[in-house]
Structure 1
Amino acid sequence: MNKQHAPIVMRPDQIKSYDRGGGARTTPLVSPGVGATSFINGITEFAPGTAIPFHSHNCEESVMLLQGHAFLDIEGQEHELKPFDTTWIPPNIPHRFRNMSSEEPMKILWIYASPAATRTLVETGETRPVSAEHNR
């Protein structure tokens, strides 16, 4: 029998964030640690000019741009995003997000359709659990 978890309100300004390197910083939110069994989510902040490397995931992903202006690079196309634009990305599709601004930060809300979501870097083929970036 699964342990029952209580509902929770998460306050990102009170949760430890983790440096992902290259100008990206992640704040984990919903995770198995709070009882999630079917998805995880969090917020990643991008410093001005930051671009994360091309990567793919083993599950569906949705990203909403919360702040700033971004590019989504996917399948040879560049899509400009403004706040509240939302993406849906099927599993195993290489993509990346870039901060368009050289002066302002950018912030996204990401949601993975599996608590066991992984990230595979296109350049190296390295695969790691998304949760490894924030030790939750």
Structure 2
Amino acid sequence: MALNYSKEELEVILDKHIATFATRKPDWFAFEDTKIEGFRRAQHRFIGAGASANSDVNAIPAGAFTLSIMYVPPGQGAAAHTHEVEEVFFMLQGHCTFFMENEQGERVEKKLGPWDCIWCPPDVLHGFVNDSVEPCYFQTMLGKGRPKAYVAGQ
């Protein structure tokens, strides 16, 4: 079923739903662990706002998912965590090692590069580290407009 919008109405809808990288503000404090050396990274929000006080008010409001670009300098990453929803990482530039682990700390990991993707099921501990010498960028998407994160050990 096609909806009968005027051209002017379509222009308003289009303008409200575009977010360019140039207008995204990197949030270096989007997650609790980003305050700790080894876990520093910046989130560039496109769809959905985070819990951080630095959330980008220009992000497109979320419906059923969030979408961000993550910048991870060499030697940095994310602590083991899980969500109540699925999370997808799609590598754009550089290389990062992604891991999943159980409650006993047993870990499996894979290094991913440009155009590689990993899907993390709900309630599975996962994280990543940029163990290369160059920064990496990847897209991250979560299956809820405002998901909760659970960090291992908390």
Shorter-chain TM-score: which interval? 0.7 to 0.9
| Residue of structure 2 in register with 1:115 after alignment | 145
Structure 1 unaligned regions, length at least 5: 126-136
1:72 alignment partner, SS class? strand
Is 1:42 matched with 2:59? no
Task: Say which structure, 1 or 2, has more relative contact order (CA 8 Å, 6+ apart).
Answer: 1
Is 1:95 matched with 2:95? no
Q: How far did residue 51 of structure 1 move?
A: 2.2
Aligned pairs (5 A) from 1:1-136 = 6-7=13-14, 8-20=17-29, 21=34, 22-31=39-48, 34-75=60-101, 76-101=107-132, 103-123=133-153, 125=154
1:55 alignment partner, SS class? strand
When the two chains are superposed, the root-mean-square deviation of aligned CA atoms in Å is: 1.7
Rg bigger for which structure? 2
- The residue identity in structure 2 corresponding to 1:23 is R
Question: How many residues were matched structurally?
Answer: 119
2:115 alignment partner, SS class? coil
Structure 2 unaligned regions, length at least 5: 1-11, 50-58, 102-106
TM-score (norm: length of structure 2): 0.71
Sequence identity (%): 24
